[in-house]
Amino acid sequence: MTLRVLGIDPGLTRCGVGVIDSAGGRRATFVHAGVIRSGTEDPLDQRLLAIARGLRAALEEYSPDVVAVERVFSQNNISTVMGTAQVSGIALLEAAERGIPTALHTPSEVKAAVTGSGRADKKQIQTMLVKLLGLEAPPQPADAADAVAIALTQLWRGPGPVALDASGGARTGAQAVWARAEREARRARERSTSRH
């Protein structure tokens, strides 16, 4: 049975939307990534309406089994936090009205799930998305890539088999791929050093 996850990176100017499918285990297939935009010159109510309409359209088109939203976290810019919180509320409401389960994930949870490190930067996340989903390039713009990462976080934090690392500890599919890439890079450096 395929599980479809819709990830949302809430934002008032650009709201990222990413959709992935899973056929079981930790395998995921990329379905869609994009952004819903609102005009910065428009009144707040019209901006929220534009985002709500875009989210409704995405929910109707992709019919997800679950919706994952990035949890609002404290920032220095209060107006940015307020807009993000308002869009998060709309996303949760639109999903709830359709009976779709929702989940919230912090930015550090997303980074850790996708890269294995809660301190990863956007470039590392995008690199992992390419590897994990077999893409030619990361989804663009960055808000869309973030939404795909949020969807992957929900997929890997939900129930299902978890790969074990060599020490017997739990490791997500992303962490396993990242560890393998690190080992390959270390071997390449060692080979390069031994030639000189």
Q: Which of 116 and 7 is assigned the larger pLDDT?
A: 7
pTM score of the predicted model: 0.79
Catalytic residue among 9, 21, 94, 146: 9
Q: Which of 21, 94, 143, 146 is catalytic?
A: 143
Measure the CA–CA gap between 1 and 182, rounded to whole angstroms. Answer: 33
Domains and CATH numbers, the chain: 3-162 (3.30.420.10)
Give residue 2's pLDDT band: very low, low, confident or very high (50, 70, 90): confident
pLDDT at 43 over 90: yes
Once rounded to an integer, what is the mean pLDDT over residues 113-142? 93
Q: Which residue has the higher pLDDT, 79 or 14?
A: 14
Q: Which two tokens stand for residue 186?
A: 């270390």
Query: Per the annotation, where are the binding residues for Mg(2+)?
Result: 9, 70, 143
pLDDT recorded at residue 158: 53
**61 annotated active-site:** no
Residue 186 has pLDDT above 80, yes or no: no
Catalytic residue among 21, 41, 42, 70: 70
Q: Is the pLDDT of residue 64 over 80?
A: yes
d(CA 98, CA 37): 23
Burial class of 2 by CB neighbour count within 10 A (0 to 12, 13 to 18, 19+): exposed
70 is catalytic: yes
Gap between the Cα atoms of 120 and 126, Å rounded:
10
Q: What percent of the chain has pLDDT over 70?
A: 80
Q: What per-residue confidence (pLDDT) applies to 5? A: 96
| Average pLDDT, rounded, for the chain | 84
Rounded to whole angstroms, the Cα distance separating 20 from 174 reads: 15
Cα(73)–Cα(106) distance, rounded to whole angstroms? 7
Q: Determine whether 41 is an active site residue.
A: no
CA distance 93 to 87: 10
